[in-house]
Amino acid sequence: AQKVTQAQTEISVVEKEDVTLDCVYETRDTTYYLFWYKQPPSGELVFLIRRNSFDEQNEISGRYSWNFQKSTSSFNFTITASQVVDSAVYFCALGALNSGGSNYKLTFGKGTLLTVNP
């Protein structure tokens, strides 16, 4: 079975602070995919990044960076110099083969509510 755990339910920071959102996953597959999505107060879900299990290279995109550690089954997300507009719920997701082994199934964590205060 596949599982995604986001242990931090809520995080509150002051603008310009750096913040890291944790994500731990479980899967027996050797090939799998990891994602982060953002859900701002308006409610839509916005795709941020995808990584596959064979690519452990960390990625940076502007103020966003992702740290993929296969050894600890973690895919953490860091926002540098946070801004009020970063306030949202952030979801980590895992794409792994379903029980039939024929198709990938996308499973989401429960999300982390990030509040950035001015």
Partner 1 sequence: DAGVIQSPRHEVTEMGQEVTLRCKPISGHNSLFWYRQTMMRGLELLIYFNNNVPIDDSGMPEDRFSAKMPNASFSTLKIQPSEPRDSAVYFCASSLGSGNTEAFFGQGTRLTVV
For position 90 contacting partner 1 by CB under 8 A, the verdict is: no
For position 104 contacting partner 1 by CB under 8 A, the verdict is: yes
Q: Are 6 and 23 contacting, i.e. CB atoms less than 8 angstroms apart?
A: yes
For position 106 contacting partner 1 by CB under 8 A, the verdict is: yes
Q: Which one-letter DSSP state was computed for residue 118?
A: -
Run of H or E including 76? strand 74-79
Q: Are 52 and 98 contacting, i.e. CB atoms less than 8 angstroms apart?
A: no
For position 75 contacting partner 1 by CB under 8 A, the verdict is: no
Stretch of 16-24, 43-51, 59-67, 78-86 lying at the interface with partner 1 (CB under 8 A): 43-51
Identify which of 109, 35, 25, 28 has the alpha carbon closest to the alpha carbon of residue 69. 25
For position 47 contacting partner 1 by CB under 8 A, the verdict is: yes
Binding site for partner 1 (CB under 8 A): 33, 35, 37, 43-47, 50, 52, 91, 95-100, 102-111
